[in-house]
Amino acid sequence: MDPRQQIAAILKQWLEKTCAEGQAIQSGDFSALRAIQDSKAELRAPLGEAVCRWRAQSPEEANAHPFRAEVTQLLALETHHSNLLAARKRKAREKQLLLEQALFNLRRVRSSYAQPPDTAFNGYS
């Protein structure tokens, strides 16, 4: 496979993994998300090597940026996923703060109504 074909194949794999990444984010499957991100990271080195070989073999073709549309699509998806993750993180933080406030309120109510435990031992001999 020549470098240009290899780049096209890797970008196709990257797109498939990026789409799967979006589904994992939507479903909240963060272990799958981590696995997908790890597999995408493994594509970086082969992609870089293929691009270097392609530029060395066909500099004019490489300078024409024939993969611009694919890369632009991937960047848009990555940005969208980043925004989805930021929104999920924000919602999780808001939920955590609400739960902490509810626990604080519950402890205050409990201390108002609960009898303090006896600290002395009452024994008769």
Q: With bands split at pLDDT 50, 70 and 90, how would you rate the model's confidence at 124?
A: low
* pLDDT for residue 123: 58
Give mean pLDDT, residues 40-54.
96
* List of residues 6+ apart from 46 with CB closer than 8 A: 6, 10
* Domain boundaries of the chain, sorted by first residue: 3-112
Does this model's pTM top 0.85?
A: no
Q: What is the mean pLDDT of residues 2-20?
A: 96
Express each pLDDT in 48-95 by its tens digit.
999 999 999 999 998 899 999 999 999 999 999 999 999 999 999 999
- First-to-final CA distance of the chain: 95
